[in-house]
Amino acid sequence: MFVDEAKVILKAGHGGNGCLSFLREKYRPNGGPNGGDGGNGGDVVLVCDRNVTDLTNYKFVPHASAKNGEPGRGSNCHGANGASCFLKVPEGTVVIDETKTVIAELFEDGEKIVLLKGGNGGKGNVNFKSSVNQAPRKITLGTPGETGEFTFILKTIADIGLVGFPNAGKSSLINILTNAQQKEAPYPFTTLNPKVGVIHYPETHQTLTIADIPGLISGAHENRGLGIRFLKHIERCKMLLFLIDIAGVDGRNPIDDYRILLEELAHYDRTLLEKKRSIVANKIDLHPAEKHLAAFKKATGETVLTISCIQNMGIEALKEKLRVFCIKN
């Protein structure tokens, strides 16, 4: 199961109470106050971890809390601070509060954010001793830790977003370009979850990341097929790569495919249409791909790069085009 959104209920630790205590020893009748302070409550801390791939843990265990601080003790003993609660989240996690306000985003491995602050420990009576009050019976209580309900949303960080109809060849392409090892099969919706692969350029020691988004279909914004909920994973991409089945193997018209893909993106977020995009026509080795290609170029006016994943045609030219664009931008 791939989980890219989860609601959580979190609580920081309460501060421990200050201690009311007086020194009681033989031969020291005027020992005075010695009540120690309470410990601070633990914080709730988010930690970005590249080894965490989704939010499954928080889907099934949505509650988490830090430890409370211990109360102060006599003999000026300070209560122990409560242990903080560290929550590991994937790179690209967005945190939204109950008002739908974005309050945190984590992008880099090892990045930490204190989401909820623990309460402060109370003061023991030793703090209130003065020249006019040698035996204070005053203490303060620890303050409560912060609490809150949040939504964690995972938005994949990748240079390139790969979109296309089911069976257009996205899994085949990403397997050729990267080490993602996507499942390949001759039926729709082979890919059920977003996957990110890395394109390596050994000669220049450069890398690019590409996100394979599960296939869109007409009416995806109405929750047909897999819907459009996975499109959040291309919001941060530098460019969009449209993969078109130019041979129309499933009986679809490539021109209609491209138009529908644009419409579905617009239904989700029109700003996606403002991103740089490139069109790749797959299955150019099949009949009647050449005829469809000419009609596609005439109808859309777009520049199209042709490839065949099966024949490994045009792959190197595509890799170089992606490298030139993404490195410059």
Domain that holds residue 196: 160-328
DSSP-derived pairing of the beta strands 206-212 and 147-154: unpaired
25 with 63, same domain: the answer is: yes
CA 126 to chain centre: 48
Sign of CA dihedral 183, 186, 189, 195: positive
Tell me which amino acid residue 281 is. Answer: A
DSSP 8-state code for residue 30: T
pLDDT score of 325: 81
pLDDT tens digit at each of 329 positions of the chain: 578 899 999 999 999 999 999 988 877 767 789 999 999 999 999 999 999 988 999 999 999 999 999 999 999 999 999 999 999 999 999 999 999 999 999 999 999 999 999 999 999 999 999 988 988 999 999 999 999 999 999 988 889 999 888 888 888 898 899 865 554 444 444 445 677 888 989 888 888 989 888 756 455 444 444 445 677 888 888 899 999 999 998 888 999 999 999 998 888 889 989 999 999 999 999 989 999 999 999 999 999 999 999 999 999 999 999 988 876 66
CATH code where residue 177 lies: 3.40.50.300
Tell me which residue of 288, 295, 191, 281 sits closest to 249, measured CA to CA.
288
Between CA 251 and CA 242 the distance in angstroms is: 18
141 with 258, same domain: the answer is: no
Is the N-terminal amide bond of 288 cis, ω within 30° of 0?
Answer: yes
pLDDT score of 195: 79
* Final residue before a domain boundary, out of 154, 178, 206: 154
DSSP helix/strand/coil, 266: helix
Exposed/middle/buried for 209, CB within 10 Å: 0-12, 13-18, 19+?
Answer: middle
Where are the strands (E) in the chain, listed by range? 5-11, 44-48, 63-65, 85-89, 93-96, 102-106, 112-116, 147-154, 160-164, 195-201, 206-212, 239-245, 276-282, 304-306
170 with 39, same domain: the answer is: no
122 with 182, same domain: the answer is: no
| pTM recorded for the entire structure | 0.78
149 with 164, same domain: the answer is: no
209 with 110, same domain: the answer is: no
281 with 199, same domain: the answer is: yes
Which strands sit side by side in the sheet containing 239-245, from one edge to the other?
Answer: 195-201, 206-212, 160-164, 239-245, 276-282, 304-306
297 with 313, same domain: the answer is: yes
pLDDT score of 86: 98
